Amino acid sequence: MKLAIVGVTGMVGQEMLEVLSERDFSISELIPVASEKSCGRKVSFKGQMYPIISLTELLKRKADLAFFSAGGEIAKIWAPKLAEIGCKVIDNSSYWRMHKNHKLIVPEINGNALSDEDMIIANPNCSTIQLVMALAPLHKKYIIKRVVVSTYQSVTGTGRKAVEQLKNEEKGIDSERAYPYQIYQNALPHCDEFTENGYTKEEMKLTNETKKILDKNIEVTATAVRVPVIGGHSESVNITFENNFDLDEVRETLNNMSGVKVVDNISKNEYPMPITSHKKDIVFVGRIRRDFSQEKTLNMWVVADNLRKGAATNTVQIAEYLVNNNLL
């Protein structure tokens, strides 16, 4: 197994290396790939140093599998080139997610949709992954009609520049901004670019990707907010079902979902927080309660590490599924 990581120097790329090591994913050769300015530098993996190469050089290396975390434009141009020469691609950008001929995969939910013919596989948006992980078992049991979600998203979702902005502002240092406003001691109701309908791209990803992964009939409306947190996205989720539900049964159903853990004991102030999820691969759910203002409606709070299950871990899990089912 020759595995390439495109965008290896980025936050998600670095997390991919960590997750691969932790999960002991079996590879014969690691091929780190980044921009021309990073070529020649080396990355460490399992005690060995590997030189970073360019995308052009990667085409000559006959990789079996490539993880992409280098943005939509890179994925648009280079994923098909690799697919043409027999290298499967798992892409973490938004470019391939809504293409009708490419599958959008969360292994615990729809991994069984994959076949050996899938050469470019899309990894969902970080905020979508944790949302659908919590929604999927509930939809199966009660049938979801509508979801209203408000997100509280870490600066790590924007990248290193945003993390530096937060750290510098906390120290009172003027520096280049990733956001149009200060993020320290602030909350920005502005994740990604605004679209013509007044929603941001991030908000529309939550709508469109949830429909593609779970059910086109689920109505989803979202407000995405960036908060001064390093690591971990949180979501307030309001769900209206077609069928009624029992709260204890809801907790049991969520706990029985692989990759989900319920932390919900308000008598002991136990509920998920971003700090709870840091460096963990689990999606945490708490504050589970009935919405008294609307029939057959539930409120809950969903938290996950956006760099792990929201990106790197989900990518590795897709690769594991391909290997375990002889699809590589």
Specify whether 75 is located in the same domain as 111: yes
Specify whether 263 is located in the same domain as 286: yes
* The one catalytic residue among 87, 126, 139, 191: 126
Specify whether 118 is located in the same domain as 157: no
- Tokens encoding 324: 């375990």
Specify whether 243 is located in the same domain as 204: yes
Specify whether 236 is located in the same domain as 206: yes
Whether 139 is a known active-site residue: answer no
Measured distance between the N- and C-terminal CA atoms of the chain, rounded to whole angstroms: 9
Q: Domain of 282: which CATH number?
A: 3.30.360.10
Indicate the pLDDT class of residue 106, thresholds 50, 70 and 90: very high
Specify whether 171 is located in the same domain as 85: no
Whether 126 is a known active-site residue: answer yes
Going from the C-alpha of 133 to that of each of 38, 148, 240, 303, the distances in angstroms are 35, 16, 17, 11
The model carries a pTM of 0.97
Going from the C-alpha of 127 to that of each of 48, 77, 304, 311, the distances in angstroms are 33, 25, 9, 10
% the chain with pLDDT above 90: 98
Q: Which domain holds residue 164?
A: 127-305
Specify whether 161 is located in the same domain as 281: yes
Specify whether 6 is located in the same domain as 21: yes
Specify whether 290 is located in the same domain as 317: no
Specify whether 217 is located in the same domain as 108: no
- State how many domains the chain has: 2
The predicted-structure confidence for 127-154, as pLDDT tens digits, reads as follows: 999 999 999 999 999 999 999 999 999 9
- What is the pLDDT at residue 174? 93
Indicate the pLDDT class of residue 40, thresholds 50, 70 and 90: confident
Q: Domain of 113: which CATH number?
A: 3.40.50.720
Specify whether 114 is located in the same domain as 252: no
* The one catalytic residue among 87, 102, 139, 233: 233
Going from the C-alpha of 176 to that of each of 11, 184, 192, the distances in angstroms are 18, 14, 18
